[in-house]
Each structure stands twice: as structure tokens, then as C-alpha cells.
Amino acid sequence: MSGFVVADYCVFGVTIIISLGIGIYYALSGGRQKTTSEYLVGNRQMKILPVALSLMVSFESSIMMLGFPAETYVYGMSFWLSTFAFLVALLLAVRMVVPLVHPLKLTSVYEILYMAIVLFGPGIALEAVTDFPMWASVLVVAAASIVYTSIGTMVAGGVSNVFEMNEKSGRLDIFNFDPDPTVRHTFWSLVIGSCIRMIGLNFNQSTIQRISATPRQRDANNTMSSGLSSLSALTVQDLVIPHVKQISETRATLIAKVSVVVYGLISMAASFLIAQIKGPMSQITSSVLSAFGGPMTGIFLLGIFCPWSEAKGTFVGGVTGVLFTFWLSIGSNFSKSLKKTPWLPLAPTDMCFAPSNDSLLLTTMNSSYFYTSPLSTNPTSTIMEDIVNSEPEGLDKFYSLSYQWFGVVGILVTMVVGTAISLLVAKYNPEEADVRFMLPFFDQFFPFLPKKLRKKLYFGVDFTKVYCHAIKAQLVSIETQSEGMFVRGLLQNHGSGYDPNEFWLGATDIINEGEWTWTKSATLVKAGNFTDWSPGQPDNGGSNDDDEHCMCVKGDYHYHWNDDNCEHLKHFICEKRWL
């Protein structure tokens, strides 16, 4: 093993300096970041490309670059099935998380263990291939990330030979449809379990912060420093502002920057503790994310889809989910009696076959192993013999659950306990549901379901009516020409950022067909009073007779009035009287 020479140190140093330089440049040249909104979410005026790049590098860490290849080498190519989870999670983010989060203009949603693992990755990699000490790498990378965030913003042998070698060593056995949840990697655990875990990343602070940084919902649809920025946002929004009265923006921003340094030091210390945990880093990372991310996802899903959820029930459910999943994670990683899934037989990584019974130094993300195994003609038969013939006993039966299912367990425990406690401590009233924090899931994903069934699936919640009620308002009434001009101007300036570009107004003819009435004042919409119908409207769906009993405006109709089916999914305009 050769160590760093002068040229290597120069390249390494230049890389760190460039990263620092970007942060220093924007800190000194912009003249901004005087408020928490500017520092944490770019004053909510970030463009699509920088936000997309920032979100990408938030999850492009050393775990992915170094841990995933090691996982694939040790346990086979089936691990690639988990990549489908990313695609599903992104689609759900566009349809679920962005429409819910962006209008709320959030900064805080709630990551030190994950950051510690990310920080440890470059250190163990450099130590494995050079003499550069791990502790020094951790210090350098951590220092660069802290400074950047606190002052800145936001083919030998041919392809056929490669496949032939991997097939002989059992690494191309991808599709395992075994329903046993204790098997480390199966089609079901990798696709379903990973999908659930990746959906949880949609509720990650780094994700929420970047969604909220864009000016329009349409823009929102389209690393270490990210983690430190997220923790900084949590500190200010959840710990400082709610409990320190009349704090100035300048002081709050200063606290946010100082907290970056503190969290960076804590993460650096935690990375040395992570070094003591043995096992594939991808498993450790997934276990940590699932122990906290699973219950956190459960809390969000409980609030989004369960209108009966109540604060105390959600809190108890979340705490129970964290404790239960964390216990499961600790037991599966530290149980001495639990038999671990054996590695696949040794295969050369440089196209030079290692002699039988020789050892290969294999670096996984958290430690280096001397890996000894002869390459047999039937590699999987002997290697699986011990694990097949022995059954786990006691708590090991519980700990033997595949780590890919930990997130599912966390979500289920949180939602079941949260639902039970909520229904025990409070009587469910759909009129009291705050739909600002809920999502009309079945309208978005299953619009083909019968309307009556979808209504029942919402447990009596009327999203349009209840949303305005939740903010002590009502759907807007337009009874004069000046009110009509004001609302149309508002929509022309801001309505294009909403998809669909359609909005409910507060009038209906559901009581008497053809007799439109403003729900706020009971004033009839008729000749002699102000009206602003689009040409040919209202038509009750024309020849389709679509039971169109609610008034709306649409961008395609230049925001003039139209009638539509009350069950259709649209945005809405609420009005509130200010005294």
C-alpha cells in the first residue's frame, strides 16, 4: 500500500480549498443572509437548477459512492433493485409532498447519526488505499463542510468476462422472490422495503427546506453542508424562535450560523463512534435511517391521511415507533448470537485471480476485512448450509428480520399506536380537521373511484369547506365589480404557479338547480346583481349533465366564472374578515 506523495496532498488540498472558496465568495459578495429566511431558504426565491443540484448532492454521499459497491460485491447484484425505490419516491414527492409542503412555506420539519456516517466514509476510504489517517480525513472534511455552510449559502478483459466472473461467484442472482422477511435481500424487501424508506426521504429536512426555497410550486416540482444547513434550520425554527420572544432576525441568523459549527463538531465526534460498529455501511445507514425515518414518515402519513389523528396520539405513536425500531436496529447489529448472512465467495477486483485460500483486503464503508474464501464451482451451496440448518432462538427471531423492513415496522407501529391513542383521548369530528396539513390522496391517485366511495375514504372531511374553516375563513364571494377585478388580478399575477390552474369560489346551486347563491351572504347570483360568467356558462356540464353545482374560475377561461362538479380536485380561494 503506497501512501500520499506531494502531488496527492496538493490535489487533495486544492479540492478542499475550492469547496471553501465557493462558500466564502458567496458570503462576501452577496451582501445578503441578514435574515433567517435569506440564510436558510434563500428568501424563497431560489431557481430550479440550483435547488435541484442542491437536493441531488444532499443524498449523493460517500455512503452511496463507496458503500453500495461494497454491498454489491459482498452480497450480490440483487441490491440494485432498491434503485426502483428512488423512482417511486420521486413520483410520490411530486404528487404528495410538494403540493402539501410548498404552500405552507415551511423551513423546519425536524439528522446527526446519518451525517456522522457520511463524514466517516471518505476517511475509511482514504485510509484503505493510502496511509492518510482516517481521523485526519474526518477532521479536514468536517472543517471544510462547517466553514462552507456556516458562512455560505444554501474495462480490462472485456464486458463479457466481467459478467462471466460475477455469474460464477453468484453475484448475478438478482430475483429472489422468497416471502421470508428474515432473508437479507429479496425482491420484496428491496422493492417494497426500500421504497418505504425512500419515501421517508421526502419528509427529510433537507428535502423540505429545498422545496420551500422555490418561489412557485411548479419550480418545486421540477451532503454534508446540506445536512448542517438542515440542522441549523431546525434549531432556529423549532428551538429558538418559539421559546425566545422578540428575537431579532440578525440574532436569529447568527444563532443559525453558530449552530452549524456546533453540529459539525458533534457529527465529527459521532463519526469516530460509528467506526466501532462492524458490518456493511449500507446496512448500518439503512438501519439508522429506518429507526428514525420510519416513525417520522409514520407521523407525517398519520397527519396527512388520518383526519382523526390528534397531537397526543401522534406524539405517543412517534416515540413508540422510534423506541421500537431503534431497539430492533440495535439488536440486529449487536446481537452476538444472531447468525449473520454469509458473504459470497471471494472474487478478484482487479481481474487477477487470487490463489485458493488466499486473503483479500476488502474495504466496506466502515471497516476493512481480510476476506478469505476459495472460489468453488457451486459457491452458494456450501456458504448457505450453516444458515439454512440453524434457526434463530429467543429475541434473535425478532432481530433476524431483514433491515430492509425496519422502516415499514416503524411506520406501522407509529400509525397503529397513534391512531389508538388519538381515538381514546379525543372524539373524532371531521369539521375540526385542519386540511392544510392533509392531502386528498384518492382524488390524486385514484380519480376513477366512485365519488361516494372517495367521500367515505376521507372519513367525512370536505377539503374545500374545512380548509377555509380551519383558518377561520370561508370561500370567497364576489358580489361587486371591484371584488371581481381584485380576485382576477390576484389570480393573473399568482395563479399560474398552481397546477391545476383552477380555483373554487363560494357559490353553489346545489339546493335549487339554476339558482346560484353565495354561501357567505346567501345573495342570489342573478341578473341585476354583478355576474362574471364565461361565455356559455353555467351549462351544468352541457350534454354530459355532469351535476355541476359549484362555481369555480379557470385559467383557460381567463378566470371568469364557470360551473363544475363539486367533487373535482381544485385549489380554492378563502376570504377572511379582518377587524
pLDDT tens for each residue of 321-374: 989 998 888 888 777 777 776 666 666 555 444 444 434 444 443 443 333 443
**Global pTM?**
0.56
381 band by pLDDT with thresholds 50, 70 and 90: very low
DSSP code of 432? G
**Which of 448, 320, 440, 340 lies closest to 399, judged by CA?**
340
> How far apart are alpha carbons 225 and 208 in whole angstroms?
15
DSSP code of 330? H
- The answer to which of 100-109, 283-292, 474-483, 551-560 has the lowest mean pLDDT is 100-109
Whether residue 148 has pLDDT greater than 70: no
CB atoms within 10 A of CB 235: 20
pLDDT in tens, 182-205: 887 788 888 887 777 777 666 665
Q: Where along the chain do its domains lie? A: 6-276+339-343+357-391, 473-575
How large is the average pLDDT for residues 134-156? 52
Q: In this predicted structure, what is the pLDDT of residue 118?
A: 44
Q: In this predicted structure, what is the pLDDT of residue 496?
A: 74
Using CA of residue 363, residue 365, residue 367, residue 372, what is the dihedral sign? negative
- The larger pLDDT score, comparing residue 442 to residue 172, is at 442
Whether residue 477 has pLDDT greater than 80: yes
Q: In this predicted structure, what is the pLDDT of residue 281?
A: 64
Q: Is 157 left (phi over 0), alpha (psi -120 to 50) or beta?
A: left
- The larger pLDDT score, comparing residue 532 to residue 31, is at 532
Q: Which residues of 78-102 are buried (b: 16+ CB within 10 A; e: fewer)?
A: bbebbeebeebbeebbeebbbbbbb
Mapping DSSP to helix (H, G, I), strand (E, B) and coil, where does residue 29 land?
Answer: helix
How large is the average pLDDT for residues 417-423? 90
**Which of 407, 40, 339, 394 lies closest to 209, judged by CA?**
40
- The larger pLDDT score, comparing residue 280 to residue 262, is at 262
> How far apart are alpha carbons 273 and 261 in whole angstroms?
19
Percent of the chain with pLDDT over 90: 5
Q: In this predicted structure, what is the pLDDT of residue 417?
A: 94
Q: In this predicted structure, what is the pLDDT of residue 155?
A: 36
How large is the average pLDDT for residues 537-565? 82
> How far apart are alpha carbons 112 and 108 in whole angstroms?
15
For the domain bounded by 473-575, which CATH number is listed?
A: 3.10.100.10
**Which grid coordinates belong to 566?**
363539486
Whether residue 453 has pLDDT greater than 60: yes
Q: Cβ distance 88 to 198 under 8 Å?
A: yes
How large is the average pLDDT for residues 163-174? 63
Q: In this predicted structure, what is the pLDDT of residue 412?
A: 92
In DSSP notation, 38-100 reads HHHHGGG---HHHHHHHHHHHH--HIIIIIHHHHHHHH-GGGGGGHHHHHHHHHHIIIIIHHH
On average, the pLDDT of the chain sits at 69
3-state secondary structure 247-313: CCHHHHHHHHHHHHHHHHHHHHHHHHHHCCCCCCHHHHHHHHHHHHHHHHHHHHHHHHHCCCCCHHH
- The answer to which of 62-66, 387-391, 540-544, 557-561 has the lowest mean pLDDT is 387-391
**Which of 290, 48, 346 lies closest to 169, judged by CA?**
346
Which residues lie below 8 Å from residue 335, measured CB to CB, with a gap of 6+?
395, 396, 399
Q: In this predicted structure, what is the pLDDT of residue 356?
A: 43
Q: Cβ distance 460 to 430 under 8 Å?
A: yes
Q: Cβ distance 376 to 346 under 8 Å?
A: no
How large is the average pLDDT for residues 385-407? 72
pLDDT in tens, 2-24: 566 778 778 877 877 776 676 66
> How far apart are alpha carbons 460 and 454 in whole angstroms?
10
Whether residue 571 has pLDDT greater than 50: yes
Q: In this predicted structure, what is the pLDDT of residue 420?
A: 92
> How far apart are alpha carbons 295 and 293 in whole angstroms?
6
> How far apart are alpha carbons 243 and 231 in whole angstroms?
17
Q: In this predicted structure, what is the pLDDT of residue 416?
A: 93
- H or E element that contains 109: none
> How far apart are alpha carbons 59 and 204 in whole angstroms?
11
Whether residue 441 has pLDDT greater than 50: yes
Which residues lie below 8 Å from residue 340, measured CB to CB, with a gap of 6+?
279
